[in-house]
Amino acid sequence: MSNLQLAISQISASAVSVSAGTAYVFSLYGPQLAEKLQLGQSEVAFIASCSNLGNYFSGPIAGCACYQTSLVTNYGNWPAEYRSIAIGMTVSFFGLSAFIFAFIGSNFFAFNKILLVSDFLTFLGTLCLIINLFAVVLLKPLPIDATEEEMEPLLHDGDIETEYTTEEYEQYASPVIQDELDLVHEHSIGIELEEISCFRSMNAYFLALNMLFVVGVGLMYTNNVGAIVISLLPDGMTSKDPLTQALQKSHVSILSLTSFGARIATGFLADICAQRYNIQRTVWAIFSAGFMTLGCLIALYISNVDDLYAVTVLIAIAYGSTWTVIPILVGEYFGQKNFSKNW
């Protein structure tokens, strides 16, 4: 495959990710929408949750969902040694979506610094449709070179057929793969590594719990940061106040940019540290969980809107890095062939 083909694949997947991340903009217009429709905070939170459920359930229920398809297709197009970076780049634009659309909304769909919600949402829907129509044409699975096919790790009758020697493979293989190797050695059963089901490994459930904790809290904060800002402002300030909207935009932008940076950085660092220093990529999942815990602890003690910035940054780092490291680990543990199903 050529560099041009890889570039087209990456750009297309990144554009689709931008269109799929519009749920992160909800905090920008959620309070205004609630005031216009006379909705309570619980009703607004329910609307935001429905948006997230539609996004994340699209993977197992509808395999052609735009974000899942772009991530999986682009993941398979890149050589194995660069897939962490490819995933980091793709999911980073998913996080950057909020900043891009917040900038567009505040500069092109605002009157007297007040967001025109109806016009803005119409623009979002139209643009996302156009992006995905282009992606249907441009984003396609690329043919795998013969040399890359030989690199696919296979297990046959207890032997390892791979580009590495047995000693090198055992040095770099993740713990879950080593467990599967031991199982095959014991029973001398020929099995393709790509066919190992994630449901047979406890590691898969630990990854799921990590996602539940870190991503769940991150989504809750992202969807409600606009309301949190209002709750920390002096009495009398409403969602229509220009200062309120400026603060909401500020936190949405910080969430988006910080998450974007964390996603890219995690992809690069995961590959570099694994290749040069033999640091397992699992470390980055622990790293993200630690940042989320720290952010939540600080949030318990804040009393004014100025202190909220530290919480926003910490949660964005944890949230962004998790969206890179978990799919990396899914691909590393359970292979490319079933990546879409497992992820």
In the prediction, which pLDDT does 111 show?
A: 82
- Is the pLDDT confidence value at 169 over 50? no
- Is the pLDDT confidence value at 89 over 80? yes
- Is the pLDDT confidence value at 181 over 60? no
Q: How does DSSP assign 211-240, residue by residue? A: IIIIIHHHHHHHHHHHHHHHHHSPTT--TT
In the prediction, which pLDDT does 192 show?
A: 43
* Nearest residue to 263 via CA among 281, 288, 280: 288
CB count within 10 Å of CB 137 equals: 8
The larger pLDDT score, comparing residue 167 to residue 285, is at 285
Look at the block and give the residue holding tokens 């459930």: 205
Least confident piece of the model among 100-104, 177-181, 248-252, 336-340? 177-181
- The mean predicted confidence, pLDDT, of the chain is 79
Look at the block and give the residue holding tokens 């554009």: 15
If phi > 0 it is left, if psi is from -120 to 50 it is alpha, else beta; for residue 304 that is beta
Residues facing residue 159 across a β-bridge: 156
* pLDDT average, residue stretch 274-290: 89
Contact 247, 226 (CB under 8 A): no
The larger pLDDT score, comparing residue 309 to residue 82, is at 309
Q: How does DSSP assign 280-333, residue by residue? A: -THHHHHHHHHHHHHHHHHHTT--SGGGHHHHHHHHHHHHHHHHHHHHHHHHHH
Q: How far is it, in rounded angstroms, from Cα 218 to Cα 22? A: 15
Q: How far is it, in rounded angstroms, from Cα 205 to Cα 200? A: 10
- Is the pLDDT confidence value at 156 over 60? no
SS3 38: coil
* pLDDT average, residue stretch 1-24: 86
Look at the block and give the residue holding tokens 């205004």: 32
- Is the pLDDT confidence value at 151 over 80? no
Reported as a single tens digit per residue, the pLDDT across 124-136 is 999 999 998 999 8
Reported as a single tens digit per residue, the pLDDT across 201-226 is 788 888 889 988 999 999 889 888 98
pTM, two decimals, is: 0.69
Contact 60, 69 (CB under 8 A): no
**Confidence grade of residue 278 (pLDDT, cut at 50, 70, 90):** confident
The larger pLDDT score, comparing residue 68 to residue 14, is at 14
User: What does the angle CA 126 – CA 130 – CA 132 come to, to the nearest 5 degrees?
Assistant: 120
CB count within 10 Å of CB 29 equals: 26
